């Protein structure tokens, strides 16, 4: 059973995610607005399905999801246009967040629906769902750039480099997750991530 402090930390991070959504909307950044909303959705979905507020994702899970929001908010506080320490940090933050949102959604499907997934299928599906978000990034930002006159994706090469590095990053994370679940057990991990409300 999770302690009240841990659950409180997760809810505090949901507030950060919601603020990140507000900030991304103000910045006219459609993809990260969408991802912040997806983050809130993925974090609170187990709570809604189990009808138990303690079954929110653990704080470390939500922290990884909220990293881009934290980064964006820090940028706003320190009056930089956008906090970008180094390119490597930027890639790690974005890729980790999208990967954890994908994993949270698929774990919730595994726990609360009749779908059965073994370890390789869960890891493979997480990797695949990650690519869908990258595809959504291209479609959403391209059409919003056309509509709002913004310049989130400046060229095809700009997007393709992002997609290529994201694919490699997500592959590394998928291999790490596969290794972790091999030694830790997928059901134990699911229980730890989603709490005791999961049906299976």
Partner 1 sequence: MITATFSLVLLGMLYTSLMEGDSYAYSTELISLFLLWIPPFLSWRRVVDVPWPIILMIGVTLFLHSLGLVTLWYYSTFWWDKLTHFTTGIVVAAFVTMGLLIIMENSKTIRVQPKWMIFFVFIAVVAVEVFWEIFEFTMDNTVGTDMQHSLEDTANDILTNFINGLLVGVGAAYYLSRHTLENFVKGLNVDRAVAWFRRNLTEPPPPG
Binding positions for partner 1, rule: CB under 8 A: 109, 113-118, 121, 125, 127-129, 131-132, 134-135, 138-139, 142-143, 153, 155-160, 163-164, 167
Taking the C-alpha atoms of residue 30 and residue 52, their distance in angstroms, rounded to an integer, is: 31
Query: Among all chains, which residue has been given the structure tokens 């930390």?
Result: 9
Question: Nearer to partner 1 by C-beta: 80 or 172?
Answer: 172
Residue with tokens 């930089």, as numbered in its chain? 80
Q: Return the number of the residue (28 or 156) whose C-beta is nearest partner 1.
A: 156
Name the minimum Å distance from CB 33 to partner 1. 18
Nearer to partner 1 by Cβ, of 75 and 124: the residue is 124
Q: How far is CA 158 from the centre of its chain?
A: 22
- Residue 200 CA to residue 196 CA, distance in Å, equals 9
How many residues belong to the chain?
200
CA distance 133 to 138: 9
Q: How many other C-beta atoms can be found within 10 angstroms of the C-beta atom of residue 33?
A: 20
- Nearer to partner 1 by C-beta: 71 or 141? 141
CB 55 within 8 A of CB 196: yes
User: Is residue 57 within 8 Å of 10, Cβ to Cβ?
Assistant: yes
Residue among 97 and 125 whose Cβ is closer to partner 1: 125
Residue 86, token pair as written in the block: 């180094």
Minimum CB separation of residue 103 from partner 1 in Å reads 13
CB of 189 to partner 1, least distance (A): 16
């Amino acid at each position: 059973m999770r302690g009240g402090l841990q659950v409180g930390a997760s809810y505090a991070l949901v507030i950060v995610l919601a603020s990140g959504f507000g900030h991304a909307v103000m910045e006219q950044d459609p993809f990260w607005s969408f991802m912040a909303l997806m983050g809130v959705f993925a974090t609170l979905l187990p709570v809604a399905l189990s009808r138990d507020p303690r079954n929110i994702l653990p704080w470390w899970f939500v922290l990884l999801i909220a990293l881009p929001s934290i980064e964006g908010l820090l940028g706003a506080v320190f009056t930089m246009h956008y906090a970008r320490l180094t390119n490597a940090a930027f890639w790690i933050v974005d890729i980790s967040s999208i990967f954890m949102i994908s994993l949270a959604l698929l774990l919730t499907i595994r726990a609360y629906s009749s779908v059965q997934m073994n370890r390789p299928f869960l890891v493979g599906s997480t990797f695949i769902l990650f690519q869908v978000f990258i595809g959504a990034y291209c479609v959403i930002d391209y059409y919003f750039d056309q509509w709002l006159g913004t310049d989130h994706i400046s060229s095809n090469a700009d997007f393709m480099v992002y997609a290529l590095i994201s694919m490699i990053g997500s592959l590394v994370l998928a291999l790490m997750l596969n290794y972790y679940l091999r030694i830790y057990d997928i059901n134990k991990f699911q229980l730890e991530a989603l709490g005791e409300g999961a049906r299976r």
